[in-house]
Amino acid sequence: MNDSLPTPTGSTPDLQAAVRRARLEDAERSSMAADLRQAEIARLESLNDALGPVFAQLPREAEMFDHGLVPLEKPRLFIDMIAYVEMARDRRTFRFMQDSRAGRALIAESEDVVRIAEAVTFYLGRRVVEREKALTRDAMFQPQEAQPAPEALPPPRPEAVPVVPPVEEDRVEPVARHGFSGVDVFFAFILGGVAMLALFVVAAWLDMKTLWPFGKLLG
């Protein structure tokens, strides 16, 4: 039997009294839980202070090393995006955890702040090396950027261009053309008539010479 149950008595049970008692017990448990949570936060803050010089040496441009204490219902000190430190059930033991594709893995566990700080430092060292290898691999397979085209030369200034005088072409004087006068036309007409008359006489003489024997026969 459960000894915590109230022993029946001859008096009538009082519901209001039971509610007040439950509220008092809940307040005591809440106070204890709050005190335990504050104790966990204090322990994680001490670890964060011990890791302060280590965090200061991380590359500032690497977003993967986003660390900090998150006071959730279960307080956690995040080392990066996949690793964190939380307290065990006893509120005294540190548990260094890492989330991966295979599930959640325990990296280190101890009550000593110094030992957990050393484990976190070694983990960060490995992560820095992995980041450097990834950057080197990306640089090897990254295509080379196209070289920019050379800038066009500015147009020459007007005063810088030598002025060449135009070459004058040889001028050919036009030959004066003289028109035919009236006298020239008259003499040409006379010469043409004389030539036509001479041709006519020659043609007539040839015809008479050809027909001369026949003329005798006819006569």
Sheet arrangement for strand 76-78:
68-70, 76-78, 83-87, 94-100, 103-110
> 207 vs 178, which has greater pLDDT?
207
Residues in the chain: 219
143-161 pLDDT, tens per residue?
666 566 666 666 666 565 5
Closest among 137, 135, 132, 106 to 119, alpha carbons compared = 106
Query: What is the mean predicted confidence (pLDDT) over 37-63?
Result: 87
Torsion 118-120-126-132 (CA) sign: negative
> 94 vs 151, which has greater pLDDT?
94
pTM, entire model:
0.51
22-31 pLDDT, tens per residue?
777 776 676 7
Query: What is the mean predicted confidence (pLDDT) over 164-177?
Result: 56
Query: What is the mean predicted confidence (pLDDT) over 65-84?
Result: 88
- Check whether 32 has a pLDDT greater than 50: yes
C-alpha 216/C-alpha 219 separation (Å) is 5
176-206 pLDDT, tens per residue?
555 556 666 677 778 777 778 887 777 777 6
Beta strands in the chain (DSSP E): 68-70, 76-78, 83-87, 94-100, 103-110
- Check whether 91 has a pLDDT greater than 50: yes
Query: What is the mean predicted confidence (pLDDT) over 108-122?
Result: 94
Place of tokens 């709050």: 34
- DSSP secondary structure letters along 46-82: HHHHHTHHHHHTS-TT-GGG--EEE-SSS-EEESSSS
- Check whether 114 has a pLDDT greater than 90: yes
